[in-house]
Amino acid sequence: MRTIGVATCGGDAPGMNAAIRAITRIACTKNLKVLGFENGWNGLITNAFRHLLPHSVMGILHTGGTILRTSRSLEFRTEEGIKKAAETLANNNVDGLVVIGGNGSFNGALALSKETDTKIIGIPATIDNDVFGTNETIGFDTAVDTAVVAVDKIRDTMVSFKRVFVIEVMGRERGFIAATVGLAVGAEIVLVPEIQFDKNQVFKSIKEKRAKGKRSGIIVAAEGIGDCQKLAQEIEENTGAETRRSVLGYIQRGGNPSARSRLLASLFANKAIELLLNEQGNRVVGLQDGTITSIDLETSCKTEKPLELDLVNLASILTR
Ligand code: F6P
C-alpha cells in the first residue's frame, strides 16, 4: 500500500470533512501518498484529483459539506463510466480507495470493485443513517440535532396558534431521522415509511387529544411517507385543527458537524487505513455495539438496515 485515493460521493453529510482530514493525516503518518478525487465519482471518471497533505486539510474539521465536492454521477452508473474510473485508479497506481458516502456510493464502489485491483473501503457518511453494518453513519447525529432545534422553533408558532404541524424530515425511503427526531421532540405522532399508517387513526388520535384540551401538536413525518402537504390539509378538514406543513429540507444536511459526527469520522477513518494497511478491501467500516468494526461491502449493499420500531412506539407512549 503506497498510494490511496479518497472521494466523497452522493449527498454531502456533516463530518465528511472530518473524515477527509483524518484519512489524510493518518495516511501521511504511515507514509502513504493521498490523492483527493474531486466531485465524487466524476473525479475518478475525469482523472481530477489533488494531492492531500496534512496542511491541505487544516481548518476543516468543524465544517459542513465536503472540500472535495460531490455529485450524483449519472456517468458512473454506466459500464463505460466505471471502466474510466478503474483506468484512473490504474494510471495513478492507486492501491487503496476510500469512498465516503451512503448506500448509493457503496453500490457504485461494489460495481467498481469488479473492474479494479484497487482495494476499496467504504466509510458510511449520510444523514439518512440507512447503511447496513453500522449503528450510525457520519452526519446523522448532526442532522438530528439540527432538526430538533428547528422543531423547537416551530413549536413557538404551534403553541401560540394552537396549531397542528406536520413537520417533514429527510431520510429518502427510510425513517431513521423521523423516528429519532420524533422521540427527541416529543412528537404526538411519528410517521415513517417502515410502518403502514391509517390516516383515519391519525385523525382520531388528534381529535382525542383535542377533546382532552391538547389543541396543538407535532407530527414528525419522514419524506418517504408521501405527500405531507395533502396530509396536513386532510388533517385540517377531518379534525378541525388548524394544520400547517413545514419541510425542514436541506438545513438538515448543512452546518457544523456535532462532536459525535466528528468523532465517528475520525474513528472510521482510522479503521479504514488500518484495513488498507492490512491489504484488505471490499469492506465498509462501522460502529457496532460500541466497537469500530467492518463488514463485507456486498453484504452492506445488499442488506436493508432495520429501523428500530421501538423508537416509534416509545415516542407514542411518551406523548400520552
Ligand atoms: O441521502 C441524503 C438526502 O439528503 C436524502 O435525505 C434526500 O432524500 C436526498 O439526499 C436528497 O437528494 P438531493 O441532494 O440529490 O436532492
**pLDDT tens for each residue of 142-179:** 999 999 999 999 999 999 999 999 999 999 999 999 99
Evaluate whether 92 touches 35 at the Cβ level (below 8 Å).
yes
What is the atom index within ligand 1 of the atom nearest the CA of 104? 1
**pLDDT tens for each residue of 249-297:** 999 999 999 999 999 999 999 999 999 999 999 999 999 999 999 999 9
Task: Check pocket membership of 102 for ligand 1, CB cut-off 6 A.
Answer: yes
Closest Cα to atom 14 of ligand 1: 11
Closest Cα to atom 16 of ligand 1: 11
3-state helix, strand, coil in the chain (%, to 5): 45, 20, 35
**pLDDT tens for each residue of 111-125:** 999 999 999 999 999
Pocket test for ligand 1, best of 12, 73, 174, 253 (most atoms within 8 A of CB): 253
DSSP label at residue 213: T
**Any bridge partners for residue 33, and if so which?**
3
Quote the longest CA-to-CA distance of the chain.
Answer: 70
Task: Check pocket membership of 40 for ligand 1, CB cut-off 6 A.
Answer: no
3-state secondary structure of 78: coil
**pLDDT tens for each residue of 185-240:** 999 999 999 999 999 999 999 999 999 999 899 999 999 999 999 999 999 999 99
Task: Check pocket membership of 5 for ligand 1, CB cut-off 6 A.
Answer: no
Tell which residue, 138, 86, 136, has the closest CA to residue 110.
86
Tell which residue, 154, 161, 156, has the closest CA to residue 219.
154
Q: Which of the four pLDDT bands, split at 50, 70 and 90, describes residue 319?
A: confident
151 torsion bin: left (phi>0), alpha (psi -120 to 50), beta (else): alpha
The matching CATH number, chosen from 3.30.70.270, 1.10.3720.10, 3.40.50.460, 3.30.465.10, for 141-253 is 3.40.50.460
- In order, the DSSP letters of 244-275 are EEEE-GGGGG-SPPPHHHHHHHHHHHHHHHHH
User: Within 10 A of 156 (CB to CB), how many other CB atoms are there?
Assistant: 9
State the residue for C-alpha cell 420500531.
Answer: 309
Report pLDDT for 316: 87
User: Ligand 1 centre and the CA of 172: distance in Å?
Assistant: 6
Task: Check pocket membership of 170 for ligand 1, CB cut-off 6 A.
Answer: yes
Q: Tell me how long the chain is.
A: 320
47 torsion bin: left (phi>0), alpha (psi -120 to 50), beta (else): left
What is the atom index within ligand 1 of the atom nearest the CA of 177? 6
Percent of the chain with pLDDT over 90: 98
Report pLDDT for 320: 73
Task: Check pocket membership of 11 for ligand 1, CB cut-off 6 A.
Answer: yes
User: Ligand 1 centre and the CA of 11: distance in Å?
Assistant: 6
User: Ligand 1 centre and the CA of 143: distance in Å?
Assistant: 12
User: Ligand 1 centre and the CA of 159: distance in Å?
Assistant: 30
Q: Would the pTM count as exceeding 0.75?
A: yes
Residue 39, φ and ψ in degrees, nearest 5: 60, 40
Task: Check pocket membership of 172 for ligand 1, CB cut-off 6 A.
Answer: yes
Name the average pLDDT for the chain. 97
Helix (H) or strand (E) holding 85: helix 79-91
Tell which residue, 188, 145, 148, 195, has the closest CA to residue 166.
188
Tell which residue, 95, 250, 222, has the closest CA to residue 166.
222
What is the atom index within ligand 1 of the atom nearest the CA of 253? 4
User: Ligand 1 centre and the CA of 95: distance in Å?
Assistant: 31
User: Where in the chain are the domains?
Assistant: 3-139+257-302, 141-253
Closest Cα to atom 7 of ligand 1: 172
Distance between terminal CA atoms of the chain? 57
The catalytic site residues sit at 128
Say if 3-139+257-302 and 141-253 have the same CATH topology: yes
Distance CA 67, CA 82 (A): 23
User: Ligand 1 centre and the CA of 128: distance in Å?
Assistant: 8
C-alpha cell at 29: 503518518
What is the atom index within ligand 1 of the atom nearest the CA of 172? 8
Helix (H) or strand (E) holding 100: strand 96-101
pLDDT over threshold 80, residue 66: yes
Task: Check pocket membership of 126 for ligand 1, CB cut-off 6 A.
Answer: yes
Topology (CATH) of 3-139+257-302:
Rossmann fold (3.40.50)
Evaluate whether 242 touches 162 at the Cβ level (below 8 Å).
yes
